[in-house]
A = this chain, B = another copy of it.
Amino acid sequence: MADESNNPLFFRRILITIDEDDRPSTSRAFRFALTMARDYQAHLGIASVLENNDISIYESLMPDKLNQKRDHLKAIVQDYANRAKAFVVEDVRSIVGEGGDVDDVILQKIVPEFKPDLIVSGADVDFASHGRPGAIGLRLAKKSDVSVIVIR
């Protein structure tokens, strides 16, 4: 077997987790994911999660309200996808997850389906101004089977 210890290593399937509040570190994380995807011709998955916590009991009884929230999040992710395409990233997929904690949805539903080799996350992502703020990237770094970059 050839000595591969000095071979270049980069990522081919990059998953960026988007905070809909678009805090500074998420914006920087997105720019890094774009740069890597463009320069190494990687597939780019842009994911966001509609948390259970985002949905009140009242809203859960009002399907229209829930659909409205879901459509709002889909539109945000689609906007990121359009920006990625404008940045000359060719292979972009929008992913909106739902239900449970953000990190669980990402690790148990989105990752097995998209199969990233790198997850990119901002350091202060909290995905809805509540829950456990500032920790999504760290929890992904801890629990993921693939490489994770936490951007500040």
Which residue among A30, A138, A141, A145 has the maximum number of chain B CB atoms within 10 Å of its CB? A141
Contact with B along A132-152 (1 / 0, CB 8 A): 000001100110111111111
| Nearest Cβ on chain B to A6's Cβ, whole angstroms | 6
A78 within 8 A of B: no
Contact B6 A87 (CB under 8 A): yes
Contact B152 A145 (CB under 8 A): yes
Contact with B along A77-106 (1 / 0, CB 8 A): 000000100110000000000000000000
Interface size of A as a range: 20 to 34
Cα A70 to Cα B10 in complex, Å, equals 32
Contact A32 B9 (CB under 8 A): yes
A115 within 8 A of B: no
A31 within 8 A of B: yes
Question: With contacts A146-B152, A149-B147, A150-B147 known, is A86 near B9, CB below 8 A?
Answer: no
Cα A38 to Cα B141 in complex, Å, equals 25
Contact A147 B151 (CB under 8 A): yes
In the complex, which residue of chain B has the Cβ closest to the Cβ of A38? B8
A7 within 8 A of B: yes
| 8 nearest A-B residue pairs (beta carbon) | A9-B31, A149-B149, A8-B35, A9-B32, A147-B151, A141-B150, A147-B152, A141-B141
